[in-house]
Structure 1
Amino acid sequence: MPYGVSTIRRAHWIAQDDPLAAPLLAELALEYSNRYGRTPGEVHSDLRGYPAAHFAPPEGGLLVVTQDGEPVAGGAFQQFDPTTAELKRIWTAREHRRQGLGRFVLERLETEIADRGYRRIYLTTGPRQPEAVGLYLAAGYTALYDSALPAEEIGPHPFEKFLDLGAWEATA
């Protein structure tokens, strides 16, 4: 961004059918299609196949970040079990990557998840998403797979993070 140009970044908690979610789902469909070989329509259908209630309070949430009014990043969570939230659909618009938006989204999701009473976060990311793996490792997530294996052999890469030290010590 050029020096002296300011942007206004806002986080919005929305429903899955909110117009702000459309760019998130559309670009995720294209991204996953390019990386995994299915058509964008098939991927978009899968993304929309999750019941909207999974990403709605009180068990879940869908966050879209806007910058100067345009959706630029987002993510969601749903209940995995009574003490665990599962992250889904972490996204940054292609033209806005490498600006810290993924971390911004992740931090807001983690705060909301903790506020809802969850103590653990679980997620999986695909074997062809090294940027996501890097983000989760940098944010303190523990890989639940053997990182010495080739990514394609692992398949979906599971991660977890405990939100408070007491929960971590109780399971260690």
Structure 2
Amino acid sequence: MEERWVAADDPVLVPLLEDLARDYDARYAPTDGVPSSAELTRYPPEVFAPALGGAFLAVLDDGELVAGGALKRGGPGRDGRPLAEVKRMWVHPARRRLGLAGLVLAELERRAAELGYTGLELTTGARQPEAVALYLRHAWAPDFDPAVPQDEAAYLRFTKPAPPPDRGAAGGATGRATTGLE
């Protein structure tokens, strides 16, 4: 496995974006005639650029994209500082249930700390129970009661403190973090 930090408009991400669009449209009805996949064009690629506090991770196996996820600057945390927002979490359908989503999530958390964020946030939809289970397994705090059916909720929000930056990784906070993806 190879991990690569890429621009949000890098052609390597096409399978991720196409499959997310298909999945969103299959799970969620259009709103006012707008397909659910329109969410993927809500933010310009630049918001995922490192210069704006973002990052986009592509995980490849033999050159094939198998997983990925992104960060962008989010809303303010309790301390008033911006949170990193996790977006575009995806694992190739043939590679699900192998732990890749957890590895991508952990790498995004590490990158958020390296970028100086003290916390993270994300939202997912109620029709993505596997995503909700993933975030709960990885100690993300729900801003809702997970015991209550969430069928009507538009978005389910989670937060988590960023881990301390790994200054021991090659090059410290500016170097490439070492992960279990390698």
Q: Give the TM interval when normalised to the shorter protein.
A: 0.7 to 0.9
Amino acid at match of 1:16: A
The answer to whether the aligner puts 1:99 opposite 2:91 as a matched pair is: no
Counterpart residue number, 1:87: 86
Amino acid at match of 1:112: R
Per-residue deviation at 1:23? 0.6
In structure 2, do the counterparts of structure 1 residues 57 and 161 end up closer, same or farther at CA, with 3 Å as the change threshold?
same
- In 1, the alpha carbon distance for the partners of 2:117 and 2:102 equals 19
In structure 2, do the counterparts of structure 1 residues 64 and 38 end up closer, same or farther at CA, with 3 Å as the change threshold?
farther
The answer to whether the aligner puts 1:133 opposite 2:132 as a matched pair is: yes
Per-residue deviation at 1:49? 3.5
Count of aligned pairs between the two proteins? 156
Counterpart residue number, 2:72: 78
Counterpart residue number, 2:14: 22
Structure 2: stretches of 5+ with no match in the other structure:
165-182
Alignment of 1:3-152 (within 5 A): 9-38=1-30, 42-58=35-51, 59-80=53-74, 81=76, 82-152=81-151
- In 1, the alpha carbon distance for the partners of 2:30 and 2:21 equals 9
Structure number having the greater helix percentage: 1
Deviations 1:76-124 (A, max 9, x none): 1100144310111100011110111101110111111000000100001
- In 1, the alpha carbon distance for the partners of 2:142 and 2:159 equals 7
The alignment's TM-score, normalised by the length of structure 2, stands at 0.80
Counterpart residue number, 2:160: 161
Tell me the SS of whatever aligns to 2:15: helix
- In 2, the alpha carbon distance for the partners of 1:145 and 1:116 equals 28
Root-mean-square deviation (Å): 1.9
Counterpart residue number, 1:168: none
- In 1, the alpha carbon distance for the partners of 2:35 and 2:7 equals 22
The alignment's TM-score, normalised by the length of structure 1, stands at 0.84
Tell me the SS of whatever aligns to 2:112: helix
Per-residue deviation at 1:149? 2.3
Per-residue deviation at 1:36? 0.7
Over 4 Å off, 4+ runs: none
In structure 2, do the counterparts of structure 1 residues 110 and 164 end up closer, same or farther at CA, with 3 Å as the change threshold?
closer
- In 1, the alpha carbon distance for the partners of 2:38 and 2:99 equals 29
Amino acid at match of 1:87: V
